[in-house]
Amino acid sequence: MPSSPLRVAVVCMSNVNRSMEAHRVLSKNGFHVRSFGAGSHVRLPGGARNPPVRYNFSTSYKKMHSYLFSKDQKLYKRNGVLHILKRNERIKPGPERFQECPDPFDIIFTCGQRAYNRVVANLCARDQEMWQPVPVVNVDIDNTLEAASLGASIICELCQGLQQADDTQSRLAELLQATKEKTGRSFLHTVCFY
C-alpha cells in the first residue's frame, strides 16, 4: 500500500463542471486532489441565441457567478450554471490551467478526448527532469450535471482501488478492465514521464 495519499489530478477543458464534480467527490473521500482545465479559456454556455461566455482562467468563480447572475439570472439558474459556480466557490477560488501547474501527480484523469490530448501533449513537451512516470486515464464524460456525477463516481472507484495497490501500473490495468466490464466503457490511457 502506498505510504502517502494518492496525488490525483482531474482535468476537463474549463475546470467548471466535470473536473470540479470529481474534485468534490474525491476530496470528500479523503484523496489529495487538484482539478484543472486544459483549454485556452473557461467557456460557459451562453444560451440558445448567444455564443458561449468566455473567461480567463484568472477569473474567480465568484466573479463569474456575479456577472452571469446580473446578465440573465433565469437562464443561468435554469441551465444549472449558477449552481455549479456556487459549488465550485466552496471548493476553491477559481479555475486553474493544467499547463501552468508544475506539481507532480501519481495519476491524472481527463474527462474527455480533447483534454486527454492536451494533457499528454503538455506532459511530453515538458523537460523530463525526474523521469517520473504518471498514468493518464481518459474517462469520457458528457458535460452535463448527471454525467459529471456518474463520471466522478467512476474516477473515485478507480482511485480507491489504486490507493490499496503496491504496483500502481499493473493494478490500474486490472481496475480499468473490471470497470469496463461493469460499465461498458472503454478507457484511453497511457503513461507519460516528466
Give the side-chain half-sphere CA count within 13 A for 142: 6
State how far the Cα of 185 lies from the Cα of 147, in Å rounded to an integer. 13
- What pLDDT shows up at residue 3? 53
Asked whether the whole model's pTM tops 0.85, one would answer: yes
Exposed / middle / buried, residue 186 (Cβ in 10 Å: 0-12, 13-18, 19+): exposed
Between the alpha carbon of residue 179 and those of residues 44, 59, 91, 102, the distances in Å are 31, 36, 28, 30
Query: Which carries the bigger pLDDT value, residue 194 or residue 8?
Result: 8
Taking only the tens place, the pLDDT of each residue in 132-149 is 899 999 999 999 999 999
pLDDT at 1 exceeding the cut of 60: no
- What pLDDT shows up at residue 76? 94
- What pLDDT shows up at residue 194? 78
